[in-house]
Amino acid sequence: MPNTETLSVDIPPRYCPLPTARHPDESVLARRTAEWIDGFDLKLTEQQRDRMRGNDCPGFYGRIMPRAPADRVQLAVDWCTLMFHFDDVYCDEGPPTGRAARFTDLATRIVRTLEAPQARLAGPGGTLLAPVRDLALRARRWATPTQMRRCVEAHRAWLLAVLWELGHRAAQSAPALNDYAHMRQHTAAGAATLCWAEIIDGTEIPEPELSSPPVRALTELAFTTAAFDDDLFSYGKELWVARAEGSAPSGLGLVEILRREHGCGRAEAMERAVELCNRLTHRFVTLHEQVLPGASAPLRSYLDHLAHLLLGNLEWGLTADRYRNPDGRTPGAVTTTATRTPTPPAETSPPPIPSIAWWWDPLDG
């Protein structure tokens, strides 16, 4: 019997002075994605279809690329819709026993399909490969070989990181903050999400620019901050599910990791998590202002997408049913509230986390 009790979480003020915008064709994107999904034999239940709609992928990616042509940004919205379903079914839910093997089997075939869509692969979960193949073929209409290589490698990094996370789940262990801080951008599919933006833009970012230390730092800052924000607005879901199952939270989230490492309560851990996010955001804004004037046109577009990701992701996450309806059967079970502040944090120095402290180093191109 589902848990019908509600749960509320209040997030302290988040510093984020970055711009926000919405794509004007979100309703069109949503309709086309639903039609696209219906074109495949995914054997979805009505509950799964409702969860796909509730994830609001047009609202998510439409905030990252609010000015992109609808027919091109549709590629990313379709990908997002499919991958949230994949994440729910193969990464987050179901008994831990055997989950890693089942996930790995399908994940390797997803990467191979993106890499070589002409390859024919079969096995458990194979119905998911047909829409992945469609995405790969559509992307190749616009993408350069370099962009497709980046796309494939981004997915390989994401899925390897999820396997690392599944290892912790199976062992019922939690990583140290220093490890979690550098892995979170990957478990959250940061690069796998943004790789589509370059393809949609239709221009290739020069490799010397994309791989330069300042741009690498900006990329990791954006992906990590957005992922940590995911931890903030999904914390209510984590607590709700743990309560429904009669268990403790998994410990694979920023708030619980800080609570454990500092030996503090949940309210203080949430304050520490927001303080860290605010510090990361301030560093992103400062570095973004330094890098933008000398960037090429393709890089400027990429940096614009990173900036839109930070606030757009926060806005989206606070309203998406993905976190308000934690089990797909209990709408409105979790309410998360947050406010945004333009006031920079009092502490802007590097946090005491060695694996990410280099983002504050003097960075030359």
CA distance 20 to 24: 13
* pLDDT at residue 47 greater than cutoff 90: no
* pLDDT at residue 214 greater than cutoff 60: yes
Please name the residue ranges forming H helices in the chain: 26-38, 46-54, 57-64, 70-86, 99-115, 129-142, 145-171, 177-187, 190-201, 207-210, 213-233, 235-245, 254-262, 266-291, 297-319, 321-324
Domains of the chain: 7-360 (1.10.600.10)
For position 102, what pLDDT does the model report?
A: 83
CA distance 321 to 54: 5
Of all residues in the chain, the percent with pLDDT exceeding 70 is 96
The residues near 172 (Cβ < 8 Å, ≥ 6 apart) are: none
CA distance 358 to 365: 14
- Contact by Cβ (8 Å): 308, 63: yes
Top-confidence range, 84-98, 218-232, 248-262, 321-335: 218-232
Q: State the pLDDT confidence band at 82, using cuts at 50, 70 and 90.
A: very high
The residues near 346 (Cβ < 8 Å, ≥ 6 apart) are: none
- Could you report how far apart the first and last alpha carbons of the chain are, in Å? 57
pLDDT tens track for 141-157: 999 999 999 999 999 99
* Length in residues, the chain: 365
For position 126, what pLDDT does the model report?
A: 75
Other CB atoms within 10 Å distance of the CB of residue 189: 23
Other CB atoms within 10 Å distance of the CB of residue 45: 9
Of all residues in the chain, the percent with pLDDT exceeding 90 is 79
320: burial class by Cβ within 10 Å (0-12, 13-18, 19+)?
buried
pLDDT tens track for 331-353: 999 999 999 999 999 999 999 99
DSSP state of 202: T
Provide the whole-model pTM.
Answer: 0.95
Q: State the pLDDT confidence band at 2, using cuts at 50, 70 and 90.
A: very low
For position 250, what pLDDT does the model report?
A: 84
CA distance 158 to 194: 12
The residues near 301 (Cβ < 8 Å, ≥ 6 apart) are: 197, 201, 203
DSSP H/E element including 341: strand 334-341
DSSP H/E element including 7: strand 7-15
Bridge partners, 337 (sequence order) = 10
Which is nearest to 159 in space by CA: 130, 122, 186? 186
Q: Which of 25-29, 127-131, 181-185, 248-252 has the lowest mean pLDDT?
A: 248-252
**DSSP string covering 69-132:** -HHHHHHHHHHHHHHHHHIIIIIISS-STTHHHHHHHHHHHHHHHHH-TT----STTGGGHHHH
CA distance 1 to 159: 33
